[in-house]
């Protein structure tokens, strides 16, 4: 571990933080198509490639579908890869997102959460990424710009781990984080290099210089296909312990802790816990901080990893409180909040009878104000 100054603080946007996270991770291949509000991520990376500040191959593609196909092919050949998208672009990638997970290509992708059309809406909502929650990707949500940068670096170490080898998405809220500036410490490159060594694939790759000839993408009969699915499930379960291990290592190297699968805020001795994703969790924390009464009674669990889902952590905290409130910035039509549904299913599985109150807020980027959060909590606490 290096103990001297670890980096330089700059005031940057969430998109710049994502770009820095990718740059410091030394990707070999970047492929992306611009789409609001993630465009400045790949514009920044393209500029660094052009100036020679980033030694990577930048592929200009004609669509998000092609962007995922390009990084998947590069990853299959043994390269470290990166891309970014949002909203409709993420859905356009959907076919190749399934392939990327099934092919065990540890791509890292930033997703700037945005509402889906029609009607057109470019503001924040989590439904876009949550629609692909069952695709076999590891899913992280970042709550602030520092966490955006740090989570991209951690995502590579987790995705490329020999016990995982799965692609990973790192989500941050459109405009709320993507275009908002905050102080962010940018780590020194040599420290990141020590934390994150070059990608060393633990399997054969499609590169005749390093592997014998192999076939790729063949059809599998049912008895064999199920083995592939089970291997993804095993890898996702392995990812739980690797996420915890990498988060602890990151804290040792850089002195920062964003949580592992979850993070806890003011959860000791309270009777109500609020569970949320991304920046919504920090908004709840700020609201609780502003009220002496709420601070006595309510805490926050930020779900940092949605896949693999932190079942044990949520069940354990639920056993200690009288109420669970879940705030969703998403909606599954005919079902309700997606995160709330996952929490209810988890408590049922672990036979925990703490009531779960689901609240849907901020759809289509509608503001989530402190008074909205206070009102929801006071309805339950009174």
pLDDT digits (tens, 9 = 90+) for 322-374: 999 999 999 999 999 999 999 999 999 999 999 999 999 999 999 999 999 99
4-8, 185-189, 266-270, 357-361 — which is least confidently predicted? 4-8
The whole-angstrom separation of Cα 31 and Cα 365 is: 28
> Which of 294, 256, 300, 260 lies closest to 281, judged by CA?
300
Intervals of CATH 3.40.50.920 along the chain: 262-381
Tokens, residue 355? 């009531």
Residue extent(s) of CATH 3.40.50.970 domains in the chain = 7-254
Q: Could you report the per-residue pLDDT of 279-316, keeping only the tens digit for each?
A: 999 999 999 999 999 999 999 999 999 999 999 999 99
Percent of the chain with pLDDT strictly greater than 70 = 99
Q: What is the dihedral of CA 130, 131, 132, 133, to 10 degrees?
A: 40
| pLDDT mean across residues, the chain | 96
Q: Which of 142-156, 209-223, 325-339 has the lowest mean pLDDT?
A: 209-223
pLDDT band at 172 (very low <50, low <70, confident <90, very high): very high
Q: Say what the pLDDT of residue 376 is.
A: 94
Q: Average pLDDT of 25-36?
A: 96
Q: Does the structure show a pLDDT above 80 at 55?
A: yes
The CATH classification of domain 262-381, taken from the options 3.40.50.920, 3.40.1190.20, 3.40.50.1820, 3.40.190.10 = 3.40.50.920
Cα–Cα separations (whole angstroms), residue 260 to 24, 151, 154, 243, 372: 21, 10, 10, 6, 28
| Options 3.30.300.210, 3.30.200.20, 3.40.50.970, 3.30.365.10; CATH of 7-254 | 3.40.50.970
Instruction: Give whole-number Cα distances, 214 to 167, 203, 261, in Å.
Output: 21, 11, 36
Residues 8-23, mean pLDDT to the nearest whole number: 98
Please say if the pLDDT value at position 5 is more than 70: no
* Residue 2 pLDDT: 42
Residue 180 in this model has a pLDDT that exceeds 90: yes
pLDDT, average across residues 94-106: 97
Query: Rounded distance, CA 109 to CA 84, Å?
Result: 5
365 conformational bin, left if phi > 0, alpha if psi -120 to 50, beta if neither? left
Q: Check pLDDT > 50 for residue 3.
A: no
339 contacts: CB under 8 Å, gap ≥ 6:
130, 275, 276, 277, 303, 306, 326, 327, 328, 330
Position 216 scores a pLDDT of 75
Residue 67 in this model has a pLDDT that exceeds 90: yes
């Amino acid at each position: 571990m290096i103990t001297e100054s670890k980096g330089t603080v700059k005031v940057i946007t969430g998109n710049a933080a994502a770009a820095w996270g990718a740059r410091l991770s030394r990707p070999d291949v970047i492929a992306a198509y611009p789409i609001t509000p993630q465009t400045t991520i790949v514009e920044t990376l393209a500029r660094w490639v052009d100036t020679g500040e980033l030694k990577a191959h930048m592929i200009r593609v004609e669509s998000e579908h092609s962007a995922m196909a390009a990084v998947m092919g590069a990853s299959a050949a043994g390269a470290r890869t990166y891309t970014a998208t949002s909203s409709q672009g993420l859905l356009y990638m959907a076919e190749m997102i399934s392939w990327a997970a099934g092919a065990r290509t540890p791509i890292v992708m930033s997703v700037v959460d945005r509402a889906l059309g029609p009607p057109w809406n470019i503001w924040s909502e989590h439904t876009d990424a949550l629609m692909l929650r069952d695709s076999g990707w590891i899913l992280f949500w970042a709550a602030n710009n520092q966490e955006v940068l740090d989570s991209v670096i951690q995502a590579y170490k987790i995705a490329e781990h020999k016990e995982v080898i799965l692609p990973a998405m790192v989500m941050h809220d459109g405009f709320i984080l993507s275009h908002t500036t905050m102080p962010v410490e940018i780590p020194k490159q040599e420290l990141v290099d020590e934390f994150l060594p070059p990608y060393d694939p633990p399997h054969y790759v499609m590169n005749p210089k390093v592997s014998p000839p192999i076939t790729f993408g063949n059809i599998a009969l049912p008895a064999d296909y199920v083995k592939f699915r089970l291997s993804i499930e095993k890898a996702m379960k392995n990812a739980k312990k690797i996420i915890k291990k990498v988060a602890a290592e990151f804290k040792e190297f850089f002195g920062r802790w964003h949580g592992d699968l979850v993070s806890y805020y003011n959860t000791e001795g309270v009777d109500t816990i609020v569970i949320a994703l991304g920046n919504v969790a920090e908004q709840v924390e700020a609201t609780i901080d502003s009220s002496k009464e709420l601070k006595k009674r309510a805490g926050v669990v930020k779900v940092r990893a949605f896949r693999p889902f932190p079942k044990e952590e949520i069940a354990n905290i639920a056993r200690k409180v009288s109420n669970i409130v879940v705030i969703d910035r998403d909606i599954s039509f005919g079902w309700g909040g997606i995160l709330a549904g996952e929490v209810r299913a988890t408590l049922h599985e672990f036979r925990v009878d703490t009531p779960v109150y689901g609240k849907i807020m901020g759809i289509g980027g509608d503001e989530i104000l402190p008074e909205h959060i206070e009102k929801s909590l006071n309805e339950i606490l009174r």
